[in-house]
Amino acid sequence: MRCNLFLFLFFIVHNLFSQGNFKQDSIRLATNTTMVIQFINQQPDSALYYIKNSLKLAKSITYEIGQVDAEYLLAQYYRRVQKTDSAIIYLKQSALRAQNSEYTLGASIANNGLCRMLYLLGRYEEAEAACNIALTALKGEIISGELGYMTKADTHTALGTIYSRKNNIEKAQHNFLIVDSMHQIKALRPDVIAAAYQNLGGIHLDLEDLILAENYFNKANDEFKKLPPRAAEYYLSSNNVELGKLAFKKEDFEKADSLLSDCYTFFKKIGDEQTLSELTTILALVKNKRGDFEKADDLLNEAYSLHEKNDFLLEAAEDAIELTKFSIRKKDFKSGMTWANKAGELNLALNNSIIKRDHALVLADLYSQQQQYKEAFKYQAIGQNIIDSLNQVQSAEAIREIDEKYQSDQRNREIKLLKAESEITKEQTRNQRNLLLGGIGVSSLALIFLFTLYRNRQKTNTKLREIDALKTSFFTNISHEFRTPLTLISAPIQSSLEEPDLSNEKRKHFEIAQKNTKRLSALVDQLLELSKINSGNRKLLLERNMPTQLIAAWSESFLYLAQQKKIDFQTEILNKEIEAWFDREALENIIVNLLGNAIKYTPEAGKINLHVSVQNDDLKIKIKNTGQGLSSSELKTIFNRFYQTDGQNEGAGIGLSLVKELTELHGGKINVASELNNWALFKVSLCLDKTKLKNVEIRKTVAFQPTLATHVPEREVLQEEPSIQGDELPILLIVEDNADVRTLLKDTFKKDYDVILTVNGEEGILEALDKIPDIIISDLMMPVKDGIALTKTLKNDERTSHIPIILLTAKAGDENELTGLEVGADDYIIKPFNQKVLKSKTASLVALRKKLQSRYSQEVILKPKDIAITSIDEKFLERVQKILDEKLVESNFTTEEFSKSIHMSRMQLHRKLKALTGLSASEFIRSQRLKLAVKILRTSDINISEVGYAVGFSDHAYFSKCFKEAYNTTPSDFADAKKSM
């Protein structure tokens, strides 16, 4: 069941030759596509070269149909090299461009390709929709032509393949026979009808009708032989895969081995993972039948890896079932259960009845081999039920079975735990009895008593370790199992929240669900962190940095929460300049959990004190808060996992347990003291000497640069920052009133950006207007002017409206985020922020501006709407256009006069144009003059020597030099080429 790529490549060649308005360029495009046909299957990188040439040529002559076809070819290249996400993006782009250009046939071809990509990924509903869109458009004059007729036939083949993969054999056969009927009416191209024959053969092969299956495969072979040599070699090899399957069904294992081994070598050589993975599965089954079990096992594992890598869920599920059978043969029942479970998980998205049947039957065999006959009988009945009626989808029953299995597993675990604890109790009772007997026994029995005591303690410790391992395994497994449903829950919630017409009531419900999903995800992360520590897999990732400086920045994120409850939050952080070795993530977890607890349990108008210092290679942290405090019994159990001081409080009781584990992992200790109904005090000590720490790994990082803010006036320090380092790095303006957070941000970005620091919104506005940075990161709450005022001012100023702004704040909540976004902020990030996420978002915004700049270089004339970011930018560019219309052709029109005309300084104009177009002011003027020259050369017969003067160049030689640098040709050659077109 192959993808008929060659068909559509031929379509595009045919279509390009049929265009009359661009005859010479169409010939070049068609020639490129002919080369793509030759190379796409066996040398895809060579094909990519010709595809890029076609796309470049189509864009240069503003030929929309050519762009549609080139984008389709680019998608097929990405399909060939297994980059499915990129392939889908370009297919959708091709379909949309074709629709906008009223190129109906091109839209149908693109939707056909999209359909074929989606069904391979198991996205059958989307694939069927794409096929139906293609068929709906194929009517009237379009279908009467050869190209439309071929497209309709191949789309029915694609639609039939979808139904075949969904086990709706009747509908699948109906669509394939439509293609056969079309062939009887009007002969189809060999590759089109061959694809239908090949699929019909596959259906009859599955139904065990081997004679008819072989007949169809031979028909397909006859048609594939009519193709050009390179394409014929590829498709004949693909059909040999089907003939190999047929030989396997006939139990002619020698022939099957020969055919499939040759195909394996061919497709491995050309790197076609899609076909390779398909044939590797059946080759593994052939090797198994021939007794080469080791080779069979290796091949089947290879097939599974390839299918899983490329998201071919159906094929991966089939491989998992066969691997289960292999494991049963080897009596490796544990491995068999793992593979069976994988098959079941993969089929959750597919809901394929054949997979359900085979999964149930292989589980029945698995349990039977282990003499678990009750379970074996249950799954045998399920499999038989599906065999009796494949068309009945029993999803509700399946859910109940999964739930019953989960509840059963959970009960079994609890029973094991209770039995183990009971045995420990009995052991302890026996120990006490033995102690009593030993106490009253004679000295001659002392040696026997000690030996018995030692042995009993060993048993007790062994039981305790078993219980601890069982608990750890249970919570680790549960945590991992939660991740998939959490992902499946959060994705549709996020999707629903993005709908513009969602009612306020529903939005509120979804926001509550989203909040609790994130909370549950954080809980799972903490459970996994605990399980890593308990299993010994959690290493300390040490970096040399300033721990107290980081703690100061993290603690600032809790100020807003403290202010909401009117809490007096006092910090005393010493030794900020000291560098040391520590695990940043572990330290952040400790600080965030302890401060979060302090905020949570401190009443309104209460008080929190944070004291941090470094003493003798130890980091000392003290957090004291007023409030209810802790009782003596609570002090003993506060660090126990899942313990809560009050059942009415939110939380799972994991945070403090994780703090204790991380502290001990870091070679430290944690203590708690309290006075009931008054205060609670947590003391943490962490070792900072890496030679004393165990299980460590060194992480390379750039240390903080010490701040001098406590020794000299703040403004004086900021003036030492370099204003501009040239064009090597983008300029980042940071507006933050907290010195520690400011230093943290500077440390995060200084390698990749030219960083400018300011302390409040007013200074930020002045620096932005003076320097025109590439991006701004600003705190929301600041003195003088806050982040909202800064954003509003800069986004409404023509000089700075294009600059992306990211707001940082401790004010969580959608209404606060909405306020920031409404005034023009480009993103809104809650403190404490993840540095990697902040860097990624910053880089993405800068990269987005670069993409907008690239649009300018593709336009012959300035189009404000295409390269503007805001309406203010559009107005600015319209003013620029007006000035250029009046003064561009004047040879004395310089950047200085340009800046005066636009009412900006030269620096402001330079930075503004650089941000929007990627060019300086002088480069921009020269670019516009050259583009005007191109327009004149294309539309008039003016003397070449006069063109430069006509567009504002005072020197003809300089004009020719600039023109050649820009377009790789001289003005004369350009004009001659235009005449020969």
Mind giving me the DSSP string for 219-242? HHHHHHTTS-HHHHHHHHHHHHHH
pTM given for the model: 0.39
DSSP state of 760: S
**Rounded to the nearest 10 degrees, what angle do helices 190-206 and 5-17 cross at?**
160
Asked if residue 339 lies in contact with residue 320, where contact means CB atoms within 8 angstroms, the answer is yes
pLDDT number for residue 537: 72
What's residue 138's pLDDT? 80
Decide: helix, strand or coil at residue 98. helix
Residue 369 within a domain: no
Q: Residue 883's domain is classified under what CATH number?
A: 1.10.10.60
Looking up residue 211, the CATH number of its domain turns out to be 1.25.40.10
| 461 CA to centre of own chain | 45
d(CA 319, CA 327): 12
Do 559 and 487 reside in the same domain of the chain?
no
The residues, any chain, with a CB within 8 Å of residue 921's CB and separated by 6 or more, are 895, 898, 899, 906, 909, 910, 913
Q: How far apart are CA 524 and CA 490, in angstroms?
A: 14
**What is the DSSP secondary-structure string of 443-490?**
GGGHHHHHHHHHHHHHHHHHHHHHHHHHHHHHHHHHHHHHHHHHHHHH
- CATH code of the domain in which 768 resides: 3.40.50.2300
Q: What is the pLDDT of residue 246?
A: 92
The neighbouring-strand residues paired with 572 are 611
Q: How many C-beta atoms surround the C-beta of residue 600 within 10 A? A: 15
Which tokens sit at 777? Answer: 């990161």
**Crossing angle, helix 23-39 and helix 64-80, to 10 degrees?**
10
| Contact of 68 with 97, CB cutoff 8 Å | yes
927 & 893 share domain: yes
Residues of the chain under the 70 pLDDT cut: 1-26, 140-144, 388-429, 432-435, 437-444, 464-488, 491, 535, 641-653, 700-728, 810-821, 852-871, 873, 978-981
Identify whether residues 441 and 466 lie together within a single domain.
yes
Shared domain for 80 and 229, answered yes or no, is: yes
Rounded Cα distance between 266 and 213, Å, is 24
Which string of DSSP letters, residue by residue, matches 831-895? SSPPHHHHHHHHHHHHHHHHHHHHHHHH-SS--HHHH-SSHHHHHHHHHHHHHHHHHTT-TT--H
Q: Are strands 669-675 and 679-687 parallel, antiparallel or unpaired?
A: antiparallel
What are 980's two structure tokens?
A: 């020969």
Pair 559, 664 in one domain: yes
Is the alpha carbon torsion for 552, 555, 560, 562 positive or negative?
negative
* Shared domain check, 743 and 824: yes
Which residues constitute the domain of residue 659? 540-698
Secondary-structure breakdown of the chain: helix, strand, coil percentages, each rounded to the nearest 5 = 70, 10, 25
Question: Where is the domain boundary, 538, 562, 586?
Answer: 538
* 81-137 per-position pLDDT tens digit: 878 888 899 999 988 998 888 888 888 899 989 998 888 888 889 999 999 998 888
Q: Are strands 775-779 and 731-735 parallel, antiparallel or unpaired?
A: parallel
pLDDT of residue 869: 53
* Residue 295 belongs to some domain of the structure: no
**pLDDT value, residue 624:** 95
Residues 248, 253, 258, 264, CA torsion sign: positive
The DSSP bridge partners found for residue 778 are 735, 807
266 in any annotated domain: no
- The domain boundary, picked from 250, 270, 288, lies at 250
Quick check: is 709 in a domain? no
DSSP state of 201: H
Residue 299 belongs to a domain: no
SS3 568: strand
State the pLDDT at residue 816: 55
In a domain, 766, yes or no: yes
Residues of 703-742 as b/e, b for ≥16 C-beta within 10 angstroms? ebeebebeeeebeebbeeeeeeeeeebbbbbbbbbbbbbb
**Other Cβ atoms within 10 Å of 598 Cβ, number:** 24
* Helix pair 229-249, 190-206: axis angle to 10 deg: 10
Structure tokens at 443: 């000295």
Under a CB-based contact definition with an 8 Å cutoff, are residues 109 and 10 in contact?
no
Report pLDDT for 718. Answer: 32
Residue 948 in domain? yes
pLDDT in tens, 633-656: 888 888 876 655 554 444 445 778
Q: How many domains does the chain have?
A: 5
**Are 226 and 121 contained in the same domain?**
yes
pLDDT given at position 243? 92
Distance of CA 648 to the CA centre of its chain: 38
Q: Are residues 810 and 922 in the same domain?
A: no
Q: How far apart are CA 972 and CA 970, in angstroms?
A: 5
Q: Is 479 in the same domain as 619?
A: no
13 and 162 share one domain: yes
Q: Domain for residue 287, yes or no?
A: no
Structure tokens at 314: 């159906």
What is the C-alpha to C-alpha distance for residues 748 and 755, in angstroms, rounded to an integer?
A: 10
HSE at residue 614, side-chain half, CA atoms within 13 A, is 18
**pLDDT at res. 710:** 30
Counting Cβ atoms within 10 Å, is residue 432 exposed (0-12), middle (13-18) or buried (19+)? exposed
In terms of domains, do 718 and 680 share one?
no
Domain boundary among the residues 807, 822, 851 is at 851
Sheet order of strands, 805-809 included? 754-758, 731-735, 775-779, 805-809, 827-830
CA triplet 412, 415, 416: central angle to 5 degrees? Answer: 85
Nearest to 761 by CA among 732, 785, 780, 733: 785
- Do 458 and 447 reside in the same domain of the chain? yes
CATH of the domain at 599: 3.30.565.10
What's the half-sphere exposure (Cβ side, CA atoms, 13 Å) at 676?
Answer: 6
Cα 122 to chain centroid distance, Å, stands at 19
Q: Rounded CA gap, 184 and 438, in Å?
A: 100
